[in-house]
């Protein structure tokens, strides 16, 4: 009777995980099966747990956490375990701690998974990108959002590993994963890489303009797979890259287009909000962005330069004075200026207070010059709530 009851418990866990995981794909059942083992252990149904763990390890022979749980189960037949499923009796304390953290991260999915109808506050406008990747590094989760007429729809999510020393990359070799907005640049196949990188790699463009302006150093931040002898890696393990299992990496590939430059937002954690909150912030910001366009077209230098933060622009006041001199020359000699823009991405920048990154296509025309180009701006809200530009340049 108890075994039957717990089969129902395990089935409920499996059903929940596969339901909260995005419905746009057939998810690898590994995580759901792992949590089913944990549910059986924590319900003290060790025979059921052993059966589930044995089949899990048979199907996923490189699952270190599966093997560790199986060891816990056998120990539990001989003596009570003080913390079923989380004790992980392994001779290597460091490895045991890492697997413990992985199990907690996967188990916690049911607590922090976003409610239906909520969206990430950072995704103000996906623009023309078919998909956006969003990393919630505190919770070891990587989300994929599809662009549906400019609105984000969650279609996939994966367990993720980050840098050994955590987040907030500052200098080369610090083994931290950067926080920021990046884009995938290209694909490197597995046959061109050491086994460490698994099924392949997608490099991102760290350091970006903001990183360089803030004197952050380093390079080689990739999204990649796992070594052939590990199904997954523990939450903090890489030299700064963000890592998913090889099966998940291969699944992710259908959402990534290196030619388009799939956007990647790496955040300490994700703020989930109602779409109305996103629209409110977007509207408020776009009022300032349109004011910038209108000020430029008005040929009013004073009005135009007031929309820039003279102390922070280009990451130094000297940069602003040099830049403004050139802009004044363009404005004061033009008979007319017309500026048309199309937003290609609008994101609240993670890790920086009140900062928005806007990427856009710009058509510029004056009586002496025409130009079509891809641009980007960083805007930051000042102490009185006004949005001001701190960087402007080519994308």
- The verdict on 144 and 239 lying in the same domain is yes
- The verdict on 89 and 135 lying in the same domain is no
- The verdict on 264 and 307 lying in the same domain is no
pLDDT digits (tens, 9 = 90+) for 84-123: 555 666 677 788 889 989 999 999 887 888 888 899 999 9
- The verdict on 241 and 351 lying in the same domain is no
Q: Is the pLDDT of residue 1 over 50?
A: no
Distances (CA, A) of 193 to 164, 190, 224, 312, 383: 21, 5, 10, 41, 48
pLDDT in the model for residue 84 = 52
pLDDT in the model for residue 290 = 98
- The verdict on 151 and 94 lying in the same domain is no
Alpha-carbon gap, residue 175 to 163, rounded angstroms: 5
Task: Say which CATH number the domain at 311 has.
Answer: 3.10.450.50
Other beta carbons less than 10 A from residue 91's beta carbon: 6
Total number of domains constituting the chain: 3
DSSP state of 254: G
pLDDT in the model for residue 5 = 41
Q: Sign of torsion, CA 32 33 36 38?
A: negative
pLDDT in the model for residue 87 = 63
Task: Say which CATH number the domain at 143 has.
Answer: 2.40.440.10
User: What average pLDDT does this structure show over 187-192?
Assistant: 97
pLDDT band at 2 (very low <50, low <70, confident <90, very high): very low
Alpha-carbon gap, residue 59 to 369, rounded angstroms: 64
pLDDT digits (tens, 9 = 90+) for 325-357: 999 999 999 999 999 999 999 999 999 999 999
pLDDT in the model for residue 81 = 64
The answer for residues whose C-beta is within 8 angstroms of residue 245's C-beta and 6 or more apart is: 28, 30, 158, 159, 198, 225, 226, 231, 232
- The verdict on 57 and 86 lying in the same domain is yes
- The verdict on 105 and 17 lying in the same domain is yes
For residue 368, the number of C-alpha atoms closer than 13 Å in the C-beta half-sphere is 7
- The verdict on 26 and 89 lying in the same domain is yes
- The verdict on 237 and 319 lying in the same domain is no
- The verdict on 294 and 228 lying in the same domain is no
Alpha-carbon gap, residue 78 to 65, rounded angstroms: 21
Last residue of a domain, one of 80, 111, 142: 111
pLDDT digits (tens, 9 = 90+) for 15-57: 444 445 555 656 689 999 999 999 998 888 999 999 999 999 9
pLDDT in the model for residue 86 = 59
Q: Is the pLDDT of residue 260 over 90?
A: no
Domain range for residue 62?
A: 2-111
- The verdict on 106 and 149 lying in the same domain is no
Tokens matching residue 160:
């993720």
- The verdict on 178 and 73 lying in the same domain is no
User: What average pLDDT does this structure show over 162-175?
Assistant: 98
Last residue of a domain, one of 81, 111, 141: 111
């Amino acid at each position: 009777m108890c075994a039957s009851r717990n089969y129902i418990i395990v089935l409920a866990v499996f059903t929940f995980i596969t339901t909260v995981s995005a419905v746009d794909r057939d998810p690898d059942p590994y995580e759901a099966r792992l949590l089913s083992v944990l549910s059986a252990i924590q319900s003290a149904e060790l025979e059921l747990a052993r059966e589930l763990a044995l089949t899990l390890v048979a199907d996923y022979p490189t699952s270190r956490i599966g093997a560790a749980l199986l060891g816990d189960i056998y120990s539990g037949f001989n003596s009570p375990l003080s913390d079923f499923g989380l004790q992980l009796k392994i001779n290597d304390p460091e490895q045991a701690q890492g697997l413990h953290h992985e199990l907690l991260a996967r188990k916690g999915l049911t607590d922090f998974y976003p409610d239906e109808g909520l969206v990430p506050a950072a995704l103000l406008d996906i623009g023309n990108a078919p998909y956006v990747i969003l990393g919630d590094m505190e919770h070891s989760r990587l989300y994929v959002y599809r662009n549906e007429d400019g609105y984000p729809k969650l279609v996939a999510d994966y367990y993720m590993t980050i840098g050994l020393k955590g987040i907030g990359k500052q200098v080369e070799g610090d083994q931290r994963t950067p926080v920021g907005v990046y884009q995938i640049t290209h694909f490197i196949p597995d046959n061109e890489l050491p086994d460490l990188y698994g099924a392949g790699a997608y490099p991102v463009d760290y350091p970006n303009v903001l990183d360089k302006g803030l004197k952050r150093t380093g390079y080689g931040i990739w999204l990649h797979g796992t070594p052939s002898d590990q199904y997954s890696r523990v939450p903090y393990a890489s030299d700064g890259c963000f890592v998913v299992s090889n099966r998940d990496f291969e699944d992710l590939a259908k959402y990534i287009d290196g030619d388009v430059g799939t956007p990647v937002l790496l955040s300490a954690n994700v703020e989930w909000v109602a779409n109305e909150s996103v629209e409110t912030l977007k509207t408020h910001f776009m009022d300032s962005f349109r004011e910038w366009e209108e000020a430029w077209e008005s040929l009013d230098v004073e009005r135009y330069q007031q929309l820039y933060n003279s102390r922070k622009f280009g990451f130094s006041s000297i940069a602003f004075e040099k830049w403004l001199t050139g802009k004044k020359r363009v404005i004061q000699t033009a008979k007319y200026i017309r500026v048309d823009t199309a937003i290609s991405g609008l994101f609240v920048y993670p890790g920086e207070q009140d900062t928005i990154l806007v990427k856009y296509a710009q058509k510029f025309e004056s009586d002496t010059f025409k130009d079509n180009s891809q641009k980007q701006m960083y805007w930051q809200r000042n102490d009185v709530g006004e949005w001001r530009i701190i960087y402007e340049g080519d994308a």
